[in-house]
């Protein structure tokens, strides 16, 4: 029967330091199943999903994806690089646009200059 499941989570426990946030979680999913994880804020929903997606491997218990299947997750809020400042994070979102604007400025600055033979 266990071979029918695409994902199995058995006896899963998760701690952040001394605080236990997941206690003996047991889940099994059949192929094609539509699931929802519902709970109050801070109840561990995202932690369960991160474990299921393979993003968090620091837990006790079993969390197995059956062979031949893949998994992924789209988080509601992206993870930010802790090494960047807020300004650097915002600027990185617009890096392509800023680069195009710089290139435009360089091209327009040259428009009044005569071209060298190499540039023709």
What is the pLDDT at residue 57?
95
Q: Global pTM? A: 0.62
- Domain 2-65 CATH superfamily: P-loop containing nucleotide triphosphate hydrolases (3.40.50.300)
The per-residue pLDDT for range 53-111, each reduced to its tens digit, is 999 999 999 999 999 998 888 877 777 888 999 988 888 888 899 889 999 999 888 88
Beta strands in 1-120 (DSSP E): 7-16, 19-29, 60-65
* Torsion sign over Cα 56, 60, 63, 67: positive
Angle of CA points 44, 54, 46, to nearest 5°: 20
The per-residue pLDDT for range 97-115, each reduced to its tens digit, is 988 999 999 988 888 777 7
Q: Are strands 60-65 and 19-29 parallel, antiparallel or unpaired?
A: unpaired
């Amino acid at each position: 029967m266990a071979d029918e499941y695409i994902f199995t989570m058995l006896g899963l426990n998760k701690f952040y330091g001394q605080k236990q946030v997941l206690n003996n979680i047991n889940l099994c999913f059949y192929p094609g199943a539509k699931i929802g994880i519902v709970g109050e804020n801070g109840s561990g929903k995202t932690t369960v999903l991160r474990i299921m997606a393979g993003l968090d491997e620091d837990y006790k218990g079993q969390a197995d994806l059956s062979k031949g299947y893949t998994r992924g997750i789209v988080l509601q809020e992206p993870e930010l690089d802790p090494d960047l400042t807020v300004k650097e994070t915002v600027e990185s979102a617009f890096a392509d646009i800023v680069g195009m604007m710089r290139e435009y400025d360089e091209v327009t600055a040259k428009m009044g200059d005569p071209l060298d033979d190499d540039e023709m």
